Amino acid sequence: MTDTPLRVGVLGYRFMGKAHSNALARLPMFFPDAPDVERHTLVGRDEAALADAADRFGFTHTATDWADAIDEVDVFYNLGPNHVHAEPSIAALEAGVPVLCEKPLAPTLETAATMRDAAAAAEVPAGCAFNYRFVPAIRYAKSLIADGELGEIRQVRGRYLQDWLVDPDAPWAWRMDADLAGSGALGDLGAHTVDLLNFLVGDRVGGVETVSGHLKTFVDERPVLDDEGTVSEYRDVTVDDAYTAQIEYESGATGSLEASRVATGHKNDHTVEIHGTAGSLRFSLERLNELELLRTGNRGYETVLVTDESDPYVDHWWPPGHVLGWEHTFVHENYEFLSAVESGEPFSPSFTEAYEVQRVLDAVERSDERGERVSLD
């Protein structure tokens, strides 16, 4: 443990800012061996909203310029929109400040490569916030696959379905602009799926070699609302609403991927399936305490409730059977990242691992543009 708290600076106070701030607040209660932290500086542009968020989230300082925050903190969380990921993260790393950056790493492969290289040159941990790696059921699945319980991995499937853009009058936001986001469902949701599959089976099947992908935008423009909720204009949607892809790994294993933000009836349905010669497993984020497992010789899948004291992280929480939720993934993630900062050890998923995700996303886009299967560069 450090003698003084790690001063944490956070850029962003909306969705992800709230999720990570909540995690930082929970750490001392449930992870007493976690590094001591001070929620020091919250960064944003709207001074009034920023002051209110800082008060609610427990931050002692605010800043409207991220450069000012970097000078004052020991750890920097970059939770801003995708187009803001590169410059502040690189500046922090060059200043020797560890960085946890939200996903996807960057809007483009070129920018992601620059961030990867900056992290490689730094002597401090740099991580990308793929929080679903830290679900106890996913950790259990990873151990089964690593131990060969499923045999040779032959097929994987991953889908991430949401419906928040089904309504054509749903308001425009930065996530619908290619210059700000890079891509739509592909980067926003597909990045999670690609990373999760890399985490689960990458050691056994290698990297993705070829991709055939297709992107689709169903609503070409959306309304912009003013402060009173009135439509002030319409802006073009320049990213995908949905994507599908077929992939092949170095081992010859194959996979299918898809994501949608217009899948009616699906709120946050992230599902992965792994099929091997000796068994299969299924995981759904909407039932994140459970893992469906099939072993050779069994007549069907069994549902394993991953909440025993021996399961990853669960001994920090409640008695067996008292399930965890989505927010707890951020607590686990923050625990691992801040522990790496304190020890000086590398953190996974690293910027290099996040760059490998970006390579797949880029290949899907190139395949769609060319109308043909492509190899990863």
* CATH (domain of 178): 3.30.360.10
246: tokens are 């077929």
119 and 260 in a single domain? The answer is no
Ranges assigned E (strand) in 287-369: 290-295, 302-305
**Residue 203 domain flag:** yes
115 and 199 in a single domain? The answer is no
**Residue 343 domain flag:** no
Strand partners, 236: 221
31 and 47 in a single domain? The answer is yes
**Residue 329 domain flag:** no
Residue 139 in this model has a pLDDT that exceeds 80: yes
280: tokens are 């299969």
Dist. CA 146–CA 153, nearest whole Å: 11
305 and 318 in a single domain? The answer is yes
- pLDDT at position 245, please? 98
262 and 183 in a single domain? The answer is yes
Q: What percent of the chain has pLDDT over 70?
A: 99
**Residue 33 domain flag:** yes
- The whole-angstrom distance between residue 309's C-alpha and the CA centroid of its chain comes to 26
Ranges assigned E (strand) in 79-200: 99-101, 126-128, 153-161
Residue 359: give the domain boundaries: 135-324+350-375
**Residue 77 domain flag:** yes
107 and 176 in a single domain? The answer is no
Q: Is 135 helix (H, G, I), strand (E, B) or coil?
A: coil
Residue 1 — pLDDT band, cuts 50, 70, 90? very low
272 and 233 in a single domain? The answer is yes
Dist. CA 249–CA 266, nearest whole Å: 29
pLDDT in tens, 160-182: 999 999 999 999 999 999 999 99
Give helix 86-94 / helix 109-121 axis angle, nearest 10°: 10
**Residue 345 domain flag:** no
Dmax over CA atoms of the chain, in Å, equals 62
What is the number of domains present in the chain?
Answer: 2
50 and 160 in a single domain? The answer is no
Dist. CA 2–CA 371, nearest whole Å: 54
Residue 2 in this model has a pLDDT that exceeds 70: no
Average pLDDT of the chain is 96
Among residues 131, 163, 194, which one ends one of the domains? 131
> Average pLDDT in the 194-218 region?
98
**Residue 332 domain flag:** no
pLDDT in tens, 71-120: 999 999 999 999 999 999 999 999 999 999 999 999 999 999 999 999 99
Among residues 99, 131, 163, which one ends one of the domains? 131
- Buried b or exposed e, range 257-266, using 16+ CB within 10 angstroms: bbbbbbbeeb
Higher pLDDT, 134 or 377: 134
- pLDDT at position 3, please? 72
Q: What is the CATH number of the domain that holds 47?
A: 3.40.50.720
Residue 227 in this model has a pLDDT that exceeds 90: no
82 and 156 in a single domain? The answer is no
Among residues 108, 131, 154, which one ends one of the domains? 131
308 and 369 in a single domain? The answer is yes
Dist. CA 274–CA 118, nearest whole Å: 34
Q: Are 185 and 217 within 8 A, CB to CB?
A: no
**Residue 268 domain flag:** yes
pLDDT in tens, 251-305: 999 999 999 999 999 999 999 999 999 999 999 999 999 999 999 888 899 999 9
